[in-house]
Amino acid sequence: MNVLVVQVRGSRFGIPADLVVELIRAVAISPLPGAPPVISGIINVRGSLTPVIDPAVRFGQQEQAVKPSDNFVLVAMPSRIVALRVDIANDLEEIDDADIKTAESVSSTATRLAGVATLADGLVVIYDPASFLDEAENMALGNALALAAG
């Protein structure tokens, strides 16, 4: 599995590279009324309203203002493309599938994880972007985007 290794507020994690569409510089995020709390807002990517998810918020940290040095990783989820807010994208790593432990083998309470792997420079948690939103959040986001599109 190829994994894009990124930093989010000092923590390192991976995103399956086959889901990565593009890496772009962060821009101001516009509010999206009616969106679930995990959605920071929306950005306009070449005429398309794209929801922004801050993985740090998804995993319990407080929302922070976007910094000019931040980046967005555009990720293909089952129903739409979303922008994951990251500090920086570090590297593209090829990890042998046999070297990836399942999330359940690390913690029985681990959710939203595709697995965990040990790289030469340490552990990387590989997130499953498709699980970032539950069904109710995904429906609320769809409704909010439909209202925003007018």
Residue 128 pLDDT class (50, 70, 90 cuts) = confident
Work out how many domains the chain is built from and give that number: 1
Please write the tens of the pLDDT for every residue from 112-124: 777 788 888 877 8
Please write the tens of the pLDDT for every residue from 73-91: 999 988 899 999 999 998 8
Q: How far is CA 34 from the centre of its chain?
A: 20
> Cβ-count burial of 98 within 10 angstroms (0-12 exposed, 13-18 middle, 19+ buried)?
exposed
Q: Which two tokens stand for residue 107?
A: 């913690």
Range of the domain at 26: 2-149
Share of the chain above pLDDT 70, in %: 94
Q: Which residues contact 4 (CB under 8 A, 6 or more apart)?
A: 14, 15, 16, 17, 20, 23, 73, 89, 91, 92
> Cβ-count burial of 127 within 10 angstroms (0-12 exposed, 13-18 middle, 19+ buried)?
buried
CATH code for the domain in which residue 69 is found: 2.40.50.180
The pLDDT score that the predictor gives to residue 131 is: 82
Q: In this model, does residue 101 exceed pLDDT 70?
A: yes
Beta partners for residue 108, in sequence order:
none
CA dist 61 and 79 (Å) reads 26
Residue 107 pLDDT class (50, 70, 90 cuts) = low
The pLDDT score that the predictor gives to residue 117 is: 85
